[in-house]
Amino acid sequence: MSPWQTPEAPSGVRWRFTGRTGGVSQGRYAELNLGQHVGDDRAAVRRNRALLAQSLEVPPDRVAAIDAAHGNDTALVHEGGTVSQVDGLVTRERNLGLLALGADCATVALADPEAQVIGAVHSGWRGVAADVVGSTVRKMKSQGANPDQMVAVIGPAICPGCYEVSEEVRNTVASSVAAAAAETRIGTPAVDLQTGIAAQLREVGIMRYFTDPTCTFESEQLFSYRRDGETGRHGMLIALTETSHE
């Protein structure tokens, strides 16, 4: 688990950001790997996802999972299952969990507790460049959400000090959101995913947001593709509670 304490979810909403502990996967995927596409035993991943769902009192078959495409396509979902070629999910359905995965990329929870609309986002450098956060918020607005009422949590991600990229990649991201341009500790080009995402949240009018400062590359409690290569995925699950908001 990230050492950071995730803020309490607003009324009518549940969310959880996972770390590596508490699951059944073995070896390089130990323990709570949520990624089905990384080479882990699929039965172990199903068990891990079921454990996460149960921790939020969501039926395991009522989890909609992002199958990331590293773009800005989003989907409105009404049932569980893998949603391919998207990086953002939105729902108004109660007791339907939205699952985003990461292992250096950021996961983002979005909620409007008044309108009872939630969203989940996966955003790496391509997602920041394409503004998948803005795309997901626009989808939420189409369902009645109001950014003035929304709260967001930006999950752990690789920090700019560790996230060396090419000059071309940094320039691509900076052309979308200048705040994401950064340097590593040794002065080479880098991307600051979380600062870029925060700027994009503000751009769409979400001023209430929280950021987990834990670097996935530096923390052994989290999965990191950049650090380990073949590895698992931690995640973020968000759901609306069964009882309607009063």
pLDDT for 243 equals 67
pLDDT for 242 equals 78
Distance CA 148, CA 201 (A): 11
pLDDT for 54 equals 96
Predicted structure pTM score: 0.96
pLDDT tens sequence across 188-215:
999 999 999 999 999 999 999 999 999 9
Stretches in the chain below the pLDDT threshold 50: 244-246
pLDDT for 245 equals 45
Q: CB-based contacts of 227: which residues, under 8 Å, 6+ apart?
A: 216, 217
Distance CA 191, CA 197 (A): 11
Alpha-carbon separation of residue 168 from 123, 161, 163 (angstroms): 18, 18, 14
pLDDT for 210 equals 98
Q: Where are the domains of the chain?
A: 13-240
Select 13-240's CATH number: 2.60.450.10, 3.90.850.10, 3.60.140.10, 3.40.50.2300.
3.60.140.10
pLDDT for 31 equals 96
